[in-house]
């Protein structure tokens, strides 16, 4: 058993993909869970899966793409016990030219990927101020944080925000009982791509895809180790290192080649 046993984690975006895999990984380490996302049935499914580990799991459906939802979520989650681990994982992107997407989707993206993440981080840090007990903040960014990405301009910019914010926070928190870790996954096999209207990728993007389980496990290990930033997978590490060596316009051109063209259909942003 790891030293996380008995702690309690709030995991956003826990209904599928990387968030559900992080929830499973934490439960296997004896961590009690608060699972949140929009789809209650999917959250209940994850809660049922982790029940075998004997941890207490609370499910709180919330739409973090709307203002005020993060605060209500935090108050509801912390009313039944302290939150020792905050995993800000919920996020989405669309793979389309900025001009081809309606403004409401931009606003939801900024609210979910940035504003709600900041708000939850603020509430978490404030709740731990001056306390000696260990606390962990884990924010999920993307390798898109390392460069501009055509057809994902706003998404990549939101992840650059998450990376810079979390790394700055990590340095501020040095020497305290809190740590902040930023994880920058590359392509991961989840529902993200279909929802984004993406997936017409080059062979290298497909070949370097990782499973949600391996990304989740590497993320939790980085968090336990109090790491500042972690990029899962060798190809992803090399790509993030490589973009520093070429002009930014070249990196952007390469991203366009690797990610291919948008799929014809951009699914509606509705809860299934
Ligand atoms: N997959 C990749 O290749 C990849 C690469 C780099 C970074 N990431 C990042 O990894 C994180 C997890 O994505 P994923 O790949 O696991 O995709 P996913 O399977 O689509 O999971 C996204 C999660 O976010 C939740 N979510 C979406 N909109 C929400 C909203 N408005 N309010 C609350 N929750 C919402 C979804 O649940 P509901 O639909 O139930 O709300 C779901 O649980 C995201 O931040 C993503 O940007 C993914």
Rounded Cα distance between 241 and 256, Å, is 18
The domain 8-259 is placed in CATH, from the list 3.40.190.10, 3.40.50.300, 3.40.50.720, 1.20.1250.20, at 3.40.50.720
pTM for this one?
Answer: 0.97
Q: What is the CA(91)–ligand 1 centre distance, in A? A: 4
Beta carbons within 10 angstroms of residue 258's beta carbon: 17
Ligand 1 pocket test: pick from 20, 25, 90 the residue with the most ligand atoms within 8 Å of its Cβ. 90
pLDDT tens figures, 218-251: 999 999 999 999 999 999 999 999 999 999 999 9
Q: Which helix (H) or strand (E) holds 220?
A: helix 212-224
pLDDT tens figures, 126-174: 999 999 999 999 999 999 999 999 999 999 999 999 999 999 999 999 9
Query: 188 CB less than 6 Å from ligand 1?
Result: yes
What confidence category does residue 265 fall into, taking pLDDT thresholds of 50, 70 and 90? confident
Quote the tokens at residue 123.
């509430």
Query: 139 CB less than 6 Å from ligand 1?
Result: no
* Domain positions in the chain: 8-259
Decide: residue 83, CB within 10 A, 0-12 exposed, 13-18 middle, 19+ buried. buried
Ligand 1 pocket test: pick from 19, 72, 161 the residue with the most ligand atoms within 8 Å of its Cβ. 19
Active-site residues: which are they? 155
Helix, strand counts (H, E) of the chain: 11, 9
Query: 38 CB less than 6 Å from ligand 1?
Result: yes
Rounded Cα distance between 137 and 80, Å, is 19
Closest among 163, 152, 213, 154 to 188, alpha carbons compared: 213
């Amino acid at each position: 058993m790891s030293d996380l046993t008995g702690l309690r984690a709030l995991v956003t975006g826990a209904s599928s993909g990387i968030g559900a895999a992080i929830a499973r990984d934490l439960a296997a380490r004896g961590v009690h869970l608060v699972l949140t996302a929009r789809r209650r049935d999917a959250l209940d499914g994850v809660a049922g899966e982790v029940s075998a580990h004997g941890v207490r799991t609370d499910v709180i459906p919330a739409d973090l793409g709307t203002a005020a939802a993060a605060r209500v979520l935090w108050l509801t989650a912390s009313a039944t016990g302290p939150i020792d681990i905050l995993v800000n994982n919920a996020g989405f992107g669309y793979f389309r030219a900025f001009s081809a997407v309606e403004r409401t989707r931009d606003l939801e993206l900024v609210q979910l990927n940035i504003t709600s993440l900041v708000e939850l981080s603020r509430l978490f840090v404030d709740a731990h101020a001056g306390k000696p007990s260990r606390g962990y903040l884990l924010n999920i960014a993307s390798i898109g944080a390392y460069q501009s990405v055509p057809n994902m301009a706003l998404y990549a910019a939101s992840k650059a925000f998450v990376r810079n914010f979390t790394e700055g926070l990590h340095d501020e928190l040095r020497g305290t009982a809190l740590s902040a870790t930023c994880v920058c996954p590359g392509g991961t096999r989840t529902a993200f791509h279909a929802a984004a209207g993406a997936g017409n990728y080059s062979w290298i993007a497909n070949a370097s895809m990782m499973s949600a389980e391996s990304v989740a496990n590497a993320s939790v290990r980085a968090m336990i180790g109090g790491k500042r930033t972690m990029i899962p997978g060798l190809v992803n590490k090399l790509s993030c290192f490589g973009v520093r060596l070429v002009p930014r316009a070249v990196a952007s051109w390469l991203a366009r080649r690797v990610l291919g063209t948008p799929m014809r259909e951009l699914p509606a942003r509705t809860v299934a």
